[in-house]
Structure 1
Amino acid sequence: MSTDYQQAREALGARLRELRLSASDGRLTGAQLAARYGWHKSKVSRMENGHQTPTPEDLRLWAEAVGQPEACNELLARLRGFESHIRSWRRQLAAGHRAVQDTHLSAHADAAVFRGWETSMIFGILQTPDYARAIFTRYAELQRSPRDTEEAVRSRMRRQQVLYDSSKRFHLLLWEAALHVLVCPPAVLAAQLDRLAGTIGLDTVELGIIPLSAPVKIPPSTAFWLYDDRQVVVENWHAELWIDDQASVDTYLRTWKTLRESAVYGTDAQNVINRARRTLSPWA
């Protein structure tokens, strides 16, 4: 994906390659470096090409292998610079919403297991075109970004194709309040709730809803996505946070699992959706 985060990871990879090719004992091949530490043969190339984020221990061993242990601090500083990377909406939306949607489309292509938590709107991957159109319009107004609503809607609809990919699994948690937020006309929300109810039973999707009346162990808070339990995407009003340091990822995973304890599934989830749908009957 073409993002500040990925560019920083690729820059770190280029620096690792530079160090390897200028090793103090002569040119060190990727195969030799991998063999020295018992790494998988593809690990060196994946790190050098920005396809895998090295751990601090990887960087220490790398600096040691190339005979430049003093380079370790530099490499660690680079790593810290993008482990928790903030991508401002102002920069991301400079060309409109479509580019952001395409970035998430790329992330979906690379992952197999997704865990999501949403508090205030329906997951993008489950939205109808009209509901998505309302969301993009509202956010474009807020962020004062270019209006590319139709292109963004088409990208979001393409993103939903992964719901029918048997190699993917989506474990989604939704706060019941999101079923009632009228960020769109009532008729649009009614159709959206019908669409949401239709995803229950889809073999790639596990949809849980936390009722407003359910006891919870922690306050329902900021929405986030977990990709393969190795990367987290958190949305705030000013930016997206793309986080992949393991300690932070583990915190979000524990948060998701704790929230899940309060969720209902299957017929019970369907009943919560239907109850929200009935409140819209006079208008939809």
Structure 2
Amino acid sequence: MERQAVLYDSQREFHFVICEHVLRWRICPPAIIATQLERLVSLSRIPNLTIGVLPAKRLMPDFPMTCFSMHDDRLVIVETFHSEITTRDPRDVALYMSTFLRLDAAALHGDDMRDLIEGIRDEFFQERNAKGAAMESRSDSARIAGPGRQDARTLRRKRRGQEAG
């Protein structure tokens, strides 16, 4: 959270473009992903921060092969699978700026972006709730049909009590 404090500095501006499929990656439990998506929605309301999401169903103007970050118009940091590349070459910076602007033009922003992220978040919450219900159901079945002697005795007593009543 300390690293995120800079996002609230009104003297700075941030602009992010994220591909929808990245928001759907299951890199941790559904509840954690859903919470992170809620955080993105919250951050999108900060005045000096812009978030765009490239919807999976939209035709891409470029193929985003790597993640990259631009720092003003003087530095680009490209993340590859095994390393990080930095460049200050004006031609490289211009190329990445052009790519960023094309991707950003295809992205959803504002309420449309928030609606998309909230829909994805809700899918993760539903998945978490469905898994939780399935686990409870299995747990109840295990208690009823489990091999424990006490469970079997308790079940027999309950049956006898129902038959007597």
The TM-score by the shorter chain falls in which range?
0.7 to 0.9
Deviations 1:62-87 (A, max 9, x none): xxxxxxxxxxxxxxxxxxxxxxxxxx
Q: TM-score, normalised by structure 1?
A: 0.44
Match of residue 224 from structure 1: 68
Match of residue 77 from structure 1: none
Unaligned runs of 5+ in 2: 130-165
Unaligned runs of 5+ in 1: 1-156
Q: Among 255, 261, 270, which residue is 2:114 paired with?
A: 270
Q: Distance in 1 between matches of 2:83 and 2:63?
A: 22
Equivalent residue letter for 1:249:
V
Q: How many pairs does the alignment contain? A: 128
Q: Which has the larger radius of gyration?
A: 2
Contact 2:54–2:107, Cα closer than 8 Å, also in 1: yes
Q: Distance in 1 between matches of 2:82 and 2:18?
A: 22
Q: Which has the higher contact order (CA 8 A, sep 6+)?
A: 2
Q: Deviation of residue 282 (structure 1)?
A: 2.9
Does residue 214 of structure 1 match 2:58?
A: yes
Superposition misfits of 4+ residues, deviation over 6 angstroms = none
Does residue 167 of structure 1 match 2:11?
A: yes
Match of residue 251 from structure 1: 95
Q: Distance in 1 between matches of 2:72 and 2:41?
A: 25
Equivalent residue letter for 1:214:
R
3-state SS of 1:250 partner: helix
Deviations 1:185-225 (A, max 9, x none): 11110110111111122111011111001122211221100
Contact 2:13–2:48, Cα closer than 8 Å, also in 1: yes
3-state SS of 2:121 partner: helix
Residues 84-95 of structure 1 aligned to structure 2 (within 5 Å): none
Residues 56-67 of structure 1 aligned to structure 2 (within 5 Å): none
Residues 1-284 of structure 1 aligned to structure 2 (within 5 Å): 157-280=1-124, 281-283=126-128
Q: Deviation of residue 170 (structure 1)?
A: 0.3
Output the aligned Cα RMSD. 1.1
Deviations 1:235-261 (A, max 9, x none): 112110011011111100011011111
3-state SS of 1:184 partner: coil
Contact 2:30–2:127, Cα closer than 8 Å, also in 1: no
